[in-house]
Structure 1
Amino acid sequence: MINYLGTPKIETDRLILRRLEPTDAQSMFDHWLSDERVTDNLIKGAHKTVSETFEWVDGIVREYSSKEFCDWGIEIKTTGELIGEIELYNFDIPTENCEVGYSLGCRWWHQGYGTEALRVVVEFGFRYMNIHKISAAHNIDNAASGRIMSKVGMTQEGMIRHKIRNAKNQYKDCAVYGILQEDYLKNTVSTQTYILNLE
């Protein structure tokens, strides 16, 4: 059975994963939601105005009252910069499976932040929430996202043609990855943890 815990604050070596707040809207707009390179997978596309982002964040904040809602802002410890977002979603009760999705501002690509955030959310999902399987997908022209998934132990399970359609009405094929709780626990030293603090 999934142990829903909502969106607790999680601390890693370099990052703080925390709940988003209305005051984050400007940073979210500036750092990733207005950037077409980051939002290429979103059906709505890049945000055109910060007011659109305020509405986006307001919807997220309202969901935090539910224990079944897991959506974190990714913040750099040393600078306090909000650089992205990561969530667990599409929880399936019969299988106890879910999906993970993430976005990271271009300025912070290729610095290991995406891997660090995904790794700790996967750990949280398996060790604390008792999720059976976590899946993810990336459009095939975004190979860097696949490398992040592989680094945290996810395995490519196949490819789905035209899985998404973006705001430019372009269909995108997606590579699908997954990792089972039993494989994660078997391949991770039992005492090893990437979570420094969990509140």
Structure 2
Amino acid sequence: MIIYYGTPSIETERLLLQKFTLTDTQAAFDNWLSDERVSDNRVSAAHQSVSETKERMNRILSDYESEEFCYWAIKLNESGELIGEIDLYDMEEATGNCEVSYSLGYRWWNKGYGTEALRAVVEFGFTKMKLHKISAAHNTDNPASGRVMNKAGMMQEGTIRDMIRNSKNQYKDCAVYGVLQEDYFSENNGNRYILNLSI
């Protein structure tokens, strides 16, 4: 059975994962939601105005009322700068399985931040929420995201043709990854990525 904690604050070596606030709206718009380089790897189109981002942010904030909602802002520990987002979703009570997705602003690509955030959320999902399996997918033309998933302990399980259709009406094949709780614990041998967890 899944144990829900909502969206607690998680601290790693370089990052702080925490709930969004309305004051994050402009930074989210500037840093990734308005960037075509990021939206090319997302289903939703790049935001054209900050009002779109504010509407999206208001939906997220209202969803925090549910303990089943797990949606983090990714911020740099030292500066507090907002660099991305990560969430657990599609929780299945019958199986204990769910999915994870994440986005980082272009300026912070290839610096290991995605891997660090994903490792922390996977660890939280398995150790605290008692999830059985966490899955993720990426467009096959975005192999860098697959490397992030692999470094976080996930293995590729297959490729699904035309899994998504993006905002430009293009179908995209997606590589599907997953990690089981038992494999995560056996491979990590007690290694922990979370420094502090506020539940």
* TM-score category of the 2 structures, normalised to the smaller one: over 0.9
Asked whether the 8 Å contact 2:157–2:176 carries over to 1, the reply is yes
Contact kept, 8 Å, 1:12 with 1:120, in 2: the verdict is yes
Q: Which runs of 5+ in 2 are unaligned?
A: none
TM-score (norm 1): 0.98
Q: Which residue of 2 aligns with 1:194?
A: 193
1:43, CA displacement in angstroms?
A: 3.5
- 8 Å contact kept, 1:95–1:132: yes
Maintained 8 Å contact 2:41/2:142 = no
Distance in 1 (CA, whole Å) between partners of 2:137 and 2:59 is 24
- Cα separation, 2, equivalents of 1:42 and 1:31: 15
Aligned to 1:184: 184
Match in the other structure for 1:69: 69
TM-score in terms of structure 2 length: 0.98
Structure 1 distance, partners of 2:20, 2:40, is 22
Aligned to 2:148: 148
The secondary structure found in structure 2 opposite 1:37 is: helix
SS at match of 1:16: strand
Gapped regions of structure 1 (runs ≥ 5): none
Residue type at the aligned position of 1:175: A
Partner of 1:174: 174
Sequence identity, in percent?
A: 63
The answer for the alignment partner of 1:105 in structure 2 is 105
Residues paired across the two proteins, number: 198
Q: C-alpha displacement at 1:129, in angstroms? A: 0.4
**Structure 2 equivalent of residue 117 of structure 1:** 117
> Pairwise mapping of residues 1-199 of structure 1 onto structure 2 (< 5 A)?
1-190=1-190, 192-199=191-198
In the TM superposition, residue 188 of structure 1 has moved relative to its aligned partner by: 1.2
Do 1:41 and 1:165's aligned partners in 2 also have CA atoms closer than 8 Å?
A: no
* Deviation (angstroms), 1:79: 1.4
Judge conservation of contact 1:41–1:164 (CA < 8 Å) in 2.
no
